[in-house]
Structures are given as C-alpha cells and as structure tokens.
Amino acid sequence: MSFNEELQSRREEAEKIIFSFLPPEEGRVSEVSGAMNYSVRLGGKRLRPIIMAETYRMFGGEGKSIGPFMAALEMIHSYSLVHDDLPAMDNDELRRGKPTTHKVYGEAMAILAGDGLLNLSFEAAVRAFELEPDNKNIPEALKVLFRKSGLAGMLGGQSVDVRNEKAGTDPDLKELEFIYENKTSRLLEAAAMTGAILAGAGREDVEGLERMARALGIAFQIKDDILDVEGDEAILGKPVGSDEKNGKVTYITYKGLEGAKKDVLDYSETAIKEAAALSRKSEFLDRLIRYLVDRDK
C-alpha cells in the first residue's frame, strides 16, 4: 500500500469512528443536529484523529478509549471552523468548496451548531470512562485535550487574531508565531499527546510528542502561507494570492519566500528529530510529517 493509500484508509477508519458519535437528525432538534452533522461531514484531512490514533497504537494502546477522544478532537476542530467562518468573524462563504454552515443553516443556527459540537466533544470524550473503565489515564487525557483547545491554546490564538482585526493592527513576527502556535500547533499537540497518554506512555515521551507537534504545526502553517503565494490553484482548489489581496500579514511578510521555505525545513527537521528521540518509533508518523510539509495542497 502506498503512503497515500495508507493515509486514505486511516482517514476512512477515523471518519467511521467520528461519525458514530454524531447525533441522529431527528425530532424537534433535527435542524441543529443537521447543522452539526453537516459541519463535521464537510470533509477535511482528519489529521488530528489520525495522529492521535497513531500515537495510541505506538505506545501499545489496544482499548476503546481512543474512539471517543478522536471524535472529541475532530468536533473541536469542526466547531472552531464553523465559528471562524461566521459573518462576525472571517465571513467566509465557502469551505472545502462547499457552502459554510451559516450559509446553509443561517447565522443563529451555525452559532448553536458550533456550541453543540463543542458540548458534544465533551460528552463524547467522557464516554471513554464507560468504554475502558480500567484506564487510569483518562482524566489526564481530558485535561490536556481541553487545555489545548481553550484559552491557553487554540481559542487563545484565535482571540489574538480577532483582537488585531478589531483594532486594525498587524501582528509582529513574535505575535504571528504566537498565533500559529496556538491556532495550529495546540490541537496537533493535543492529538499526539492524548493518544500517548491514553496508551500509558511516560512523561518524557508525552513531552517529546508535544515538541514534535508544536514544530509540525508551525511548519504546516508557514507552508500554508507559501502555498498561498506559489501554489497551483487547480491543485489547491482555491484561489492563490488571497493573503496579499487582503493585505494580510503572514510569515512571508517578515521572512520572505526563501526564508519561509528554510524555516519550514528547519521546523520539520525538528519534528522528525523529536519523533526519532521517542522510546517507540513509527514509520507512519515520520512519513506523515514529511508529507505535510511537502504537500502541494
């Protein structure tokens, strides 16, 4: 099986699990549950649950607690996209080539659908206690997952974006790195760490995974900036040059295209080194890191 086929197969496995935690679209609440389903099923790389499942497997996890956590993490990612796309935020009408949730269901229902997904992420994660009652690591995994998604993580990063937007200010390089780390790295850290924590990995490995995912997230985000400059619209499936058109400050503003490319390489090497220093190895994880920084979409 090629790496792409392997990735596709893992994506399908992850989706089967994630979708099994989504609510039926029925009864009086069918509209909001419809919007929740729509938002999660819209597609995506399912990168975070795939990484989580892999670090769980790497460290010998064989139970059922991983499913609820995979679903929870993807729901958190989905809710954040639904709310980011809202008219009061980025006001985006398309995501992955399809109408955003608020375009289909209206603004009020999209706000509720996002709230519903965040709430459901917790309901899903808590099911791990039933599915693997003897796993003593679930509380620690819950703690890490929701710290990384909240004020000290993804949401904190998003809030700095919003504050700058509101004030009409641009982030300097240091603040830009803060935004990248929080908006992108934190959920990758949550993925890599909670998989390992649930499998009973030791503290050193969990911290190594955190550093790996931090570097991977920044590399991933800078790569996004580069693709917006020199990507192929036909492959990307979206227009390039949008950052410049919108006057958006990116990594390239401060480092230039060549500097940015060099930093993607540096950060991805850091990620690979951190993965190599773990007590367990995963060829899949190594290939995934390389794939994500070499991607052309």
Q: What residues line the site for a second copy (CB under 8 A)?
A: 23, 28-29, 31-33, 36, 79, 83, 86-89, 106-109, 111-112, 114-116, 118-120, 122-123, 126-127, 129-130, 139, 142-143, 146-147, 149-151, 155-156, 158-160, 162-163, 165-166, 175, 178
Tell me how far the alpha carbon of residue 169 is from its chain's centroid: 26
Smallest distance, a second copy to C-beta of residue 93, A:
16
Smallest distance, a second copy to C-beta of residue 101, A:
13
**C-alpha triplet 216, 217, 222: angle, nearest 5°:** 100
Smallest distance, a second copy to C-beta of residue 24, A:
10
Which lies closer to a second copy via its Cβ, residue 133 or residue 239?
Answer: 133
Which lies closer to a second copy via its Cβ, residue 90 or residue 207?
Answer: 90
- How many Cα atoms sit within 13 Å of 267 on the Cβ side? 24
Which lies closer to a second copy via its Cβ, residue 159 or residue 253?
Answer: 159
Per-residue burial over 12-50, b if 16 or more Cβ lie within 10 Å, else e, is: eebbebbeebbbeeeeeeeebbbbbbbbbebebebbbbb
99: three-class secondary structure by DSSP: strand
Smallest distance, a second copy to C-beta of residue 174, A:
10
Which lies closer to a second copy via its Cβ, residue 36 or residue 212?
Answer: 36
| Start-to-end Cα distance in the chain | 22
The label of the residue with tokens 């949550």 reads 190
Which lies closer to a second copy via its Cβ, residue 118 or residue 212?
Answer: 118
